[in-house]
Amino acid sequence: MRNLVIEPTSKTPKVILNADLGIFEITGRSIPEDAIGFYRKVLDWIEEYGKSPLPETTFKFQLEYFNTSSSKCLLDIFRKLERMHKSGHKVSIRWHYDSDDEDMAETGQDYQALLDVPFELVPV
Amino acid sequence: MSMTYSYYKNMQLNNIIFVYQGEVTADLVSSILQMVENKLEGEGEDRKVKKRVFNVMVECLQNVYHHLDALPPTDPSNPVRDKTALLMIGREEKDYYIITGNHVMNDRIPEVKARLDRINRASKEELKQLYQEILTGTGFSEKGTAGLGMIDIARKSGQRLGYDFHPVNDKYSFFSLEARVSRIPEK
User: Per the CB < 8 Å rule, is B66 touching A33?
Assistant: yes
The whole-number pLDDT of residue B140 equals 47
pLDDT at A25 over 90: yes
If phi > 0 it is left, if psi is from -120 to 50 it is alpha, else beta; for residue B36 that is alpha
Give yes or no for residue B168 having a pLDDT over 70.
yes
B139-162 residue pLDDT tens:
444 444 567 899 999 999 999 999
Local confidence band at B79 (pLDDT 50, 70, 90 cut-offs): low
DSSP state letters, chain A = ---EEE---SSS-EEEEETTTTEEEEEEEE--S-HHHHHHHHHHHHHHHTTS--SEEEEEEEEEEE-HHHHHHHHHHHHHHHHHHHTT-EEEEEEEE-TT-HHHHHHHHHHHHH--S-EEEEE-
A45-89 per-position pLDDT tens digit: 999 999 999 999 999 999 999 999 899 999 999 999 999 999 999
pLDDT number for residue B106: 92
pLDDT at B135: 87
Q: Name the pLDDT band for B138 (thresholds 50, 70, 90).
A: low
Give pLDDT tens digits for B53-76. 999 999 999 999 988 876 776 666
Label residue A100 by pLDDT band (50, 70, 90).
confident
Q: What's the average model confidence in pLDDT over B122-139?
A: 85
Interface of B with A (CB under 8 A): 26, 29-30, 33-34, 47-48, 51-52, 54-55, 58-59, 62, 65-66, 128, 131-132, 135-136, 140, 142, 144-145, 148-149, 151-152, 156, 186
> Looking at beta carbons, which residues of chain B come within 8 Å of A103?
51-52, 55, 156
Residue B37 has pLDDT above 50, yes or no: yes
| pLDDT tens, position by position, B98-115 | 999 999 989 999 999 999
How much is the mean pLDDT over chain B?
87
